[in-house]
Amino acid sequence: MEIATLGAGCFWCVEAIFQSIPGVLSIEPGYAGGDIENPTYEQVCSGGTGHAEVCQIEFDTNIVSFTELLDVFWTTHDPTTLNRQGADSGTQYRSVIYYHNEDQQKIAEASKKHADVHLGLDSRIVTEISPIANYSTAEGYHHNYFKNNPNAPYCQFVIGPKVEKFKRSTSKK
């Protein structure tokens, strides 16, 4: 078992995408990289804590590798926009990989270089790669948000289409 901590905009979207990956055992929405311990959602959304919305993904390395998770990460958000994903803007929505050890750091850096060259993006990748710091879990109502709130407007208009696009792209493989 291993843990990956990824930020790719709203953690509800990240959670919904990664829940469909074989080998992912659990996903915990949370906050990382900021200046205070145990911030609230409201504090993080204010943009003043320095935290990013992230998901800690526990995965079985016998089924899915960290590299494979990063392949999903690069293709399910726009890693070229600084502090923004779609209509969500602010440092809390930044693209970030928080590594837990040197191996993850090396893999993340190599994966970023590869994605920058081979994904055919219009701009350079701006994704931050940093050691995990100041992580705390998000409030309970954020967990399984898409599954628990499929009729909420954000779920219908943002998360749902993103999940469907990802499912279509993986069914072609």
- Phi-psi region for residue 29, left (φ > 0), alpha (ψ -120 to 50) or beta? beta
β-strand 95-99 against 2-8: which pairing, if any?
antiparallel
- Beta-sheet strand order (sheet of 95-99): 128-131, 95-99, 2-8, 52-59, 24-32, 136-137
Write the burial class of residue 36 (CB in 10 Å: 0-12 exposed, 13-18 middle, 19+ buried).
middle
In whole angstroms, give the CA distance from residue 115 to residue 2: 22
Give me the residues paired with residue 26 across strands: 58
Catalytic residue check, 13: no
Which is catalytic among the residues 10, 13, 55, 155?
A: 10
Sequence length of the chain is: 173
Active site members: 10
